[in-house]
Amino acid sequence: MPAPDTFWNYLGAVATYLAVLAVPGGLIGRAAGVRGWALAGLAPLLSYAVTGLAGPWLSTIGLPYNVLTAAVCTLALAAAAYGVRRLFIARGWLRPGAEEPPVVWTTRAQWAVAACVVVATVLSMAVVLSARGGTTAVFQRWDTVFHANGIRYIADTGDGSLTGMGTINWYPNGSFYPNGYHLVGALVYEISGTSVPVTLNAVTMPVAGIFALSMVALVRQLGGRAVYAGCTALIAAAATTGAYESVSSGLLPYALGIVLTPLTVVALQRFLVRPGVDTGLIFALAADGLLTAHSSALFGGILFAAPLILQRWYRSVRRLPVDGVPEGRNAARVIGSDILYTLPVMALAGLLAAPQILGAISFTSGAYPYQAWNSDLPVEESVRLLIFFQQVLATPQLWLTALLIVGVLAFRTLGRMRWLVLSAIGLSGFFVLVTSYGYVPAVISLSRPWWNDRYRLMALAAIPLCLLAGHGMAELQRWIAHLARSGSWARSRPQVLTRLGAGAAVIVVVTMAVLTGGFYRTANATAVSFLYYNGPEGEVTPPVSADEIEAMNYLGKMGIPAQEKVLNDRLDGTAWMYALSGVHPVAGHYDGGGPISPDAEYLALHFRDYAVDPEVRAAVARLDVRHVLVGSGSIRRDADIAPGLRHLDGLAFLRLVYRNPGAQIYAIVR
């Protein structure tokens, strides 16, 4: 039975999630020599890597996935990283230090940036909490039921395989799905002792805070100013098209992949500057972390980071200074070394993630249907959505647009981060291509990792756009500080000069907070609220109603054995049955595509003919169905209940066990 939705339940679940993000990845990163903001930023990605890899491998060797085995895997990997690194240092094969950021931040700057990350995290949590005001904690969008059932399944069974959680809907063999998100969620669910809906909310609440932390780690690694890092953290928490739009659509693992994508550059830069067994391990785990979070995240990380490599190689061709390369080394040697050193790292990443890679290959060549969205918006409309940070909301985020323009115009001051402009052009062009020409077969094939979905590609393009907008905000601070320092009153007061930069930063942050209404908190809450209403409030009735939740809770008290399935309609909210009560439904997902059980399909069409149709009775026996739950509402507009579940009252082979205004439970009596 779900735990009550109380403040303390949410606080405990959020604290548990943050600990699960920080501790495993923090141990591994520190053992591999990562420190400072790089460690803070990479820790969540490394935590998803170790848990996402542990689940399938533990299943392969016949061990359960739980808190204990996940901890053992973490400690084993951390010990191996520490031991190998110490050995290489002792033998003189490794000389750490070159991978550290080239610019030093003062202690005051460090604390100021940390405060910005905290503010971004608090903003993210406030957005989600205010978004769910007046609604149930149960998410209402399409795939959220799959994620909820998956988390409960892993926690209940210890099966961390890549197909196991799919058996709730695609039985008996399941269906492939990268399950790093669910493996971490299962740990949070087990440790916190809260309900699955509270767990999902807790994992969602700090999503923009993680995005902010990733951005800060990137800026810090590449030698950016502290002001730039802090401003970008706040922009990450303000941009609807960054983390929030994916959440509002129920794309929870995809949103996770997006907010972790900037860390690709952190791991890559550290490795390129100083190739070594320690930086190589972190790079490999970062790639695997993205893959286990969401398969498209790895592709997105490659597209996002590729301009960094191109800039590095271009500078070597021009004989300009290149990070980590001795002066005078020719371009061919630089390029060849980068490629040569990267090959074993990619081999290691591929070996560790072999179950995910083989599963993805099998899935893409399997029977699961791929349906393109075929978007065909005018090009000018696509560009407008992009630069106004607007897609699910009616109102554009004009102040972010203004900051973006400033950031682009001031691109020369980006220094070693000028590659961001090329990244923004490339990813923005990809978004426009799919949004305006998503019906073209070549575009459909090219965008398949993102399911040809413009909403997903908008989130990917938002990463460099947010970084450029943050740069624009930081440049405003620089200009204000320069203007103030140029005054005669400031030049005559040396003690004031050192404080003008901090004062200008405060002015810019406060001004933007006021102009954007608290960094667009209300607008972002409106976007995220679609997650709880399955669309704009009032337009769509939530498919998971309070009456259905009450009925599913009642099912959980009936002592129904694990092998028994309860017959239900596929499109109403009762697909949440397993996540909320632990009882197995016949339809465990709204999605009826792929290898759905023929018995489930037949019962949906003909169950009410149980008394006269022997095939119905045979299907009931094969699935061990003894109860029926009929709910109300639908995930699709104007969709009626399945024909086989209509008008069940008064049928002689059924006995009414429970009824409320929106749900009924029947027992099969003969």
Closest CA to 136 of 545, 575, 632: 545
Residues 6+ apart with CB under 8 A from 144: 200, 250, 252, 531
Report helix, strand or coil for 24: helix
Q: Residue 218: pLDDT above 60?
A: yes
Residues 6+ apart with CB under 8 A from 547: 631, 632, 660, 661, 662, 663
CA–CA separation, 504 vs 391, rounded Å?
A: 32
Q: Return the bridge partners of 668, or none.
A: 654
Question: Before 64, cis peptide (omega within 30)?
Answer: no
- Is beta strand 565-568 parallel, antiparallel or unpaired with respect to 663-668? unpaired
Half-sphere exposure of 262 (CA within 13 A, CB side): 36
Q: What is the DSSP letter of 449?
A: G
Closest CA to 240 of 630, 528, 554: 528
The pLDDT confidence band at residue 470, using thresholds 50, 70 and 90, is: very high
The pLDDT confidence band at residue 366, using thresholds 50, 70 and 90, is: low
Q: What is the average pLDDT across 372-395?
A: 92
Q: What is the average pLDDT across 294-317?
A: 94
Lowest mean pLDDT segment, chosen from 184-193, 575-584, 632-641: 632-641
Closest CA to 186 of 554, 579, 586: 579
**Longest Cα–Cα distance in the chain:** 99
Q: What is the average pLDDT across 480-492?
A: 69
CA–CA separation, 437 vs 373, rounded Å?
A: 10
CA–CA separation, 640 vs 489, rounded Å?
A: 75
Torsion of CA 376, 381, 385, 388, to 10 degrees: 170
pLDDT tens-digit series, residues 293-304: 998 999 999 999
Query: By 3-state DSSP, what share of the chain in percent is helix, strand and coil, each rounded to 5?
Result: 65, 5, 30
- In contact, 415 and 323? CB cutoff 8 Å: no
- How confident is the prediction for the chain on average, in pLDDT? 91
* Six token digits for residue 257: 């992949």
Residues 6+ apart with CB under 8 A from 495: none
Q: What is the average pLDDT across 475-483?
A: 90
User: pTM value?
Assistant: 0.94
Q: What is the DSSP letter of 141?
A: S
Q: What is the DSSP letter of 610?
A: T
Give the number of other Cβ atoms within 10 Å of residue 49's Cβ.
Answer: 31
The pLDDT confidence band at residue 392, using thresholds 50, 70 and 90, is: confident
User: What per-residue confidence (pLDDT) applies to 106?
Assistant: 92
Q: Is 632 left (phi over 0), alpha (psi -120 to 50) or beta?
A: beta
Q: Mutual orientation of helices 454-485 and 419-437 as an angle, nearest 10°?
A: 150
The percent of residues in the chain predicted with pLDDT above 70, rounded, is: 95
**In angstroms, what CA-CA distances link 317 with 107, 326, 334, 360?**
38, 14, 9, 38
Give the number of other Cβ atoms within 10 Å of residue 366's Cβ.
Answer: 12
CA–CA separation, 645 vs 624, rounded Å?
A: 17
* Six token digits for residue 86: 């110490």
